[in-house]
Structure 1
Amino acid sequence: MTETLVETPDLVTLVGGGDVSAEDLDLALSHAPVLVAADSGADAALAQGRAPVAVIGDLDSLSDRARATLGEQRLHHLPEQESTDFDKALRSIAAPMVLAVGFLGARVDHQLAVFNVLVRRADLPCVLIGPEEVVFAAPPAIALALALEAGDVVSLFPMRQVTGRSSGLTWPIEGLDFAPDGRVGTSNRADGAAVLEFDGPGMLVILPRNRLETVITALASPQAPSRAR
């Protein structure tokens, strides 16, 4: 059974143990003021003068300094080794949305594991903030309206077989079958405002980092099943 360890009506910033700059953390916190750390992400946060309200994970990478600074009440030890710390943290948070920093740009195997969790935990909207892009799992059977600008790169990477529709893209996706071992959608482009809709779960959407606010707005908007044209 999954236990909710952090419950809030506000957006949550989740910080991981990868490279986290002050700019990354400030950007996320400006939209998501509740700070949570996955394991050694607590050290990354403390290095930027920020103290998380909770630290979640197997805690095998957390420094003694962080333990002493934060105290045991903020530490949530989930010792099982069947899941990553990102998974442990995401499944333990009840919030409208999570903005995650410190999970992209490091080891490739870690990034692939994060993408896997992003799709499996798509019931909680989560946006990964990287050095150049933002990444999120598209909600299934929902028309996602994105206020993009002409020329914005829109890349689609399927983590499972999925089909969909679009409007506002240079190369429409209707009629295409996407799969991780088949067709992927690298470097499509927006003609302006775009609408994406997928028939099932499993599609990762990758947009320029400067479209973070656009993504937050789209994922937070009231949504109902619709067909993109």
Structure 2
Amino acid sequence: MTTLVGGAPVGAATLRAALARAPRLIAVDGGADAVQGAGLVPEAVIGDLDSISPAARAAFADRLHPVAEQDSTDFAKARRTFPGPAIAVGFIGARVDHFLACLSELARGGAPCILLGEEDCVCIAAADMALDLAPGTRVSLWPLGPAEGRSTGLEWPIDGIAMSPAGRVGTSNRATGRVTLSLSGAPTALILPADALDAMLAARQMGPRRPGPPSL
């Protein structure tokens, strides 16, 4: 599994958490600076490379994979080039338009990918999911279009609720224990606290955790 590192601020603990579970390291444009700052070497640096610093460009000169077209984001370029399951850090917490573009890219489909930030982890929910969550864990659903579903294990069940971005959404719900979701309609983002990353990985069937995080 791959860790993608983007140009938004990335804390050392967040980067370690991603690499402990997804040890293949790919830098996305300006994310190369975060990788260099952590003392790591990526397998590749991909993007239009308009944000990478001269120092990182020189350090990773033999690993640069420029993609010049401007019809897609650097995140989309990385997902096309490295299409397997991924944890993406450095894509939450800076520009809102960049984050929304990442969310739209995830909604287009392909292998599952989790956006991991300091506070949250975000993915597109599968049609049917089971999440092993501690009681009280925040569970938020954000529909990217008209959607509906059924649930168990939520303090406020979603059964019979028509959700949409301009109507009712499912943010700030809480788990009462193990949560199951059955969703239909438009893609729906699932947002959990960052410390629920392993539960999200398991629910999206994104492979076993691998030990041995790199030293930062």
Same fold by TM (over 0.5)? yes
1:178 and 2:163 are equivalent in the alignment: yes
Deviation at 1:64, TM superposition (A): 2.0
Deviations 1:161-191 (A, max 9, x none): 1111111111111211111111111111111
Q: Quick one: higher RCO (CA 8 Å, sep 6+), 1 or 2?
A: 2
4+ runs deviating over 2 angstroms: none
Unaligned runs of at least 5 residues, structure 1: 1-10, 223-229
Deviation at 1:221, TM superposition (A): 6.7
Which of 173-182 and 28-37 deviates more? 173-182
CA contact (8 A) 2:10 2:117 kept: no
The match for 1:23 is 13
Say if 1:211 and 1:46 are closer, same or farther in 2 by CA, change over 3 A. Answer: same
> For 1:13 and 1:221, how far apart are their aligned partners in 2?
12
TM-score (norm 2): 0.91
Deviations 1:117-161 (A, max 9, x none): 1212x321111111111111012x3x2110011111101111111
TM-score (norm 1): 0.86
Deviations 1:181-222 (A, max 9, x none): 111111111110001121144100001111101111111179
Q: How many residues are treated as equivalent by the alignment?
A: 207
CA contact (8 A) 1:138 1:201 kept: no
CA contact (8 A) 1:153 1:188 kept: yes
The match for 1:37 is 27
The match for 1:52 is 42
Q: Secondary structure at the match of 2:192?
A: strand
Deviation at 1:113, TM superposition (A): 1.5
Unaligned runs of at least 5 residues, structure 2: 208-216
CA contact (8 A) 1:104 1:130 kept: yes
Deviation at 1:24, TM superposition (A): 1.2
> For 1:149 and 1:219, how far apart are their aligned partners in 2?
18
